[in-house]
Chain A
């Protein structure tokens, strides 16, 4: 199967994943340094999901993201300048400093928000897909959500209606094994969230969420199925959060073992991708390093842009409550 993927696509996915990783590592450091206010939920470890799904979408297609949403925005084309500025609470941010990490979005890229409410995204993605079908605009909506959100009633209602109306939507479950700090085994009686698909009359597919190529292949089928009018898919990606629920610290935590973290880190999605790129001679080690170096420079430029940007004017406090 993997031979069907062009080198350009592999390079594209790798670039998106590296961009997420380096952005997140720096954002986390800035939060710990007290430069970024509030709470950051970092996407490190889960890059293969956003990377593997988003290469199938155009800027016109919509997504709903989660509280762990920076990775989705980056993979869909978000610019570091405006992202860092938003995290810094500056007026030049994507949301003019009104949203912050948990609501970062860019409507021009079809991003209907990160969402501070676990399970906030599925009804909105379903609604966007309903709108797409009504408007016959051939767009697809993709809903990212976690194993934790799969227990929310909102997911059930959205999935039921998506199945009923055969909507052009893909539900991508990023099963990272934890609902906030609670292991999956302690929050649901099933191992595979994909099992729930049967209850909504849609296919449930499970993939290795650390392998961007596996995600790419499964997501391609699901997006095609949605776009061709055949209805939704529940795509479960088994992945892992290298950092804590909030912030950077990933090891020495009370609710999971370091051994478990180390085991997953051996399957770091970016390492796996880079091994593949080298093995298939798609990129050389130097070229891979260049991707990291260029991205690091962009991160630094983004930080500089954010730090030099003004805070929102006091007059903007109650602006944009209404259209």
Chain B
């Protein structure tokens, strides 16, 4: 259905996730949900609320706390013909199941000469801001973007959350949907109908003429605040939310930089070795001659996520950091 025909309402991100899952369960008879506390409790952040009641215990399963088993359940059942939605409660828990993710789920199709497909959707929660400390707050998307065979999306708005979950579930590849816990209450327009955001298509959140900010995940909201500040300095920033990291929409970013000649990349993940470095490389490969300044990067310091709110606030990149980095880059 064309986007113009859809009737929008305002919903929080958490409810948009639920609507995305519900839409998938309605349109795909072989879809089921499995994960820790997803059935009886409706998920630790409540985004499976009502799913068990509506679809019943034959399609919604509480699993043991057993992350490698959960991913294996997804891989094996997908190979058997299902379209599983598996939940990885916190992205940090990828450490418990990385063999199943990296060596099995990502590689099975290629290793078998393309003779299988694994339509798996994994929802997982990333990000700091709730004082959950070093093992429940990370943004580890760089780990999974480095694995050929996986697709990775990072919805930032309620609209994108619903549309990307539906697109992920319709895709015949394993797709990891990286959600953000500090975005759960953020409200936005969400159509009632089922719709999909195409995988691999970035969104120009705010058009601009002389500066490009590529903002991943929740940093998009911080970038908007930063752009308001920068406007006062005569910087007309274009903000791009990649939405999908793998496959990455290089064209949209490069086209913007060719127009604006300056770029800044921001993500919540640790800056060193983060996905931003890949975006920088792609820009300089495709648009080096258009650049009027070195590309700036904003990310978390090279440190585990701290517990104390006083430190955590310093750790997470914000609009002030973006403005400061832009001013330094532009000599303002």
Binding site for B on A (CB under 8 A): 62, 64, 93-99, 103, 105-108, 112-113, 115-117, 120, 122-132, 134-135, 137, 139, 141, 153-154, 157-158, 160-161, 164-165, 319-323
How many whole Å from A69's CB to the nearest CB in chain B? 12
CA of A60 to CA of B160, assembled, Å? 39
Contact bitstring B60-73, A, C-beta under 8 A = 1, else 0: 01011011110111
Distance from B179 Cβ to chain A, minimum over Cβ atoms (Å): 23
Q: How far is the CA of A62 from the CA of B78 in the complex (A)?
A: 13
Instruction: Tell me, rounded to whole Å, the shortest Cβ–Cβ distance linking B39 to chain A.
Output: 13
Question: CB within 8 A of A99: which of B111, B149, B151?
Answer: B111
Contact A124 B104 (CB under 8 A): yes
- Interface segment out of the listed B112-120, B122-130, B289-297: B112-120
Tell whether, in the assembled complex, residue B74 and residue A127 are in contact, meaning their CB atoms are under 8 Å apart.
Answer: yes
Q: A117-B104, A158-B69 are in contact. Are A93 and B80 (CB under 8 A)?
A: no
Query: What is the minimal beta-carbon distance from B152 to any residue of chain A, in angstroms?
Result: 12
Knowing that A127-B75, A153-B68 touch, tell me 19 more A-B residue pairs with CB under 8 angstroms. Answer: A94-B112, A95-B113, A98-B111, A98-B114, A99-B112, A105-B115, A112-B108, A112-B116, A113-B112, A116-B103, A123-B68, A123-B72, A127-B76, A127-B78, A127-B80, A129-B76, A130-B73, A158-B68, A161-B66
Count how many pairs of residues, one from A and one from B, have CB atoms less than 8 Å apart in the complex: 155
Residues of chain A within 8 A of B209, CB atoms compared: none
User: Is A99 a contact partner of B113 (Cβ separation < 8 A)?
Assistant: yes
- Whether the Cβ atoms of B80 and A157 lie closer than 8 Å is no
- B95 at the A interface (CB under 8 A): no
- CB–CB B108/A127 < 8 A: no
Chain B contacts of A126 at CB under 8 A? 69, 72-73, 76
In the complex, chain A residues whose CB is within 8 Å of the CB of B69: 123, 126, 154, 157-158, 160-161
- In whole angstroms, what is the CA distance A319 to B113 when docked? 9
Partner of A135, one of B64, B82, B173: B82
Could you tell me if A154 and B112 are in contact, using CB atoms closer than 8 angstroms? no
Q: Is B79 an interface residue (CB 8 A)?
A: yes
The answer to whether B111 touches A113, judged by C-beta atoms less than 8 angstroms apart, is yes
Report yes or no: B99 in contact with A94, Cβ–Cβ below 8 A. no
- Among B66, B103, B116, the one with the most A-chain Cβ atoms within 10 Å of its Cβ is B66
Is B79 within 8 A of A321, CB to CB?
A: no
A91 CB to nearest chain B CB (Å): 9
